Amino acid sequence: MDFILDFDFSILNFIQEHLRCAFMDGAMSFFSYIGEAGLVWIVFSVVLLFFKKTRVIGIASLAAMAITYALNDLVLKQLIGRPRPFSDCYEQRMLSETNLIIKKPSGAGFPSGHSAIAGTVTTTMFLHNKKLGFCVLVPALLVVFSRLYNYVHFPTDVLCGILLGVIVAIIVTFAFKKTKVYHKLLP
């Protein structure tokens, strides 16, 4: 476990020492905010529902997000209970000048919910429509990176969140494409 913590803190502390600046503080606060509760992804998926050509993608995305949220926040975070990087139990590993620029999130940190939902939506989009996948890729990566920049998740929290999101998106998309409803919704 010490090896993983050393790896995690080396990346977090590198970001704090070499990338922190006023512009990035503002940008990363913004991207963490829009990723809160999957807000940007829910809005994007709901907008897709209004167009016959993308309705099936919106439904698949919303279904995958719901499952990802349940697995991530209601099951895994509760079972694992890993403290976040800013927790007092890691005081010796943190940089002394680390100041959080966003409100401290509550609850456990593993896996990252922001990253899981971003991974789910991006993968769902790519599996249905590569153009939409590319449209959400950069914002998704910025939301994910913001969690490291803001010192509220470890890199392993983020990587496992993304992995969970990708797996759920693949399973949901595969299952959804096997149903009659999917084929009825296609334009």
Whether 41 and 64 have beta carbons less than 8 Å apart is answered as no
Q: In angstroms, rounded to a whole number, what is the distance separating the alpha carbons of residues 123 and 120?
A: 5
State the pTM of this model: 0.89
Between 106 and 131, where is the model more confident?
Answer: 131
With b for 16 or more beta-carbon neighbours within 10 A and e for fewer, the 89-100 pattern comes to ebeeebeeeeee
Q: What CATH number does residue 141 fall under? A: 1.10.606.20
Tens-digit pLDDT profile for residues 30-41: 999 988 878 899
Question: Where residue 62 falls among pLDDT bands split at 50, 70, 90?
Answer: very high
Q: Looking at the 3D structure of the chain, how many domains does it have?
A: 1
Question: Where residue 92 falls among pLDDT bands split at 50, 70, 90?
Answer: low
The boundaries of the domain holding residue 140 are 2-185
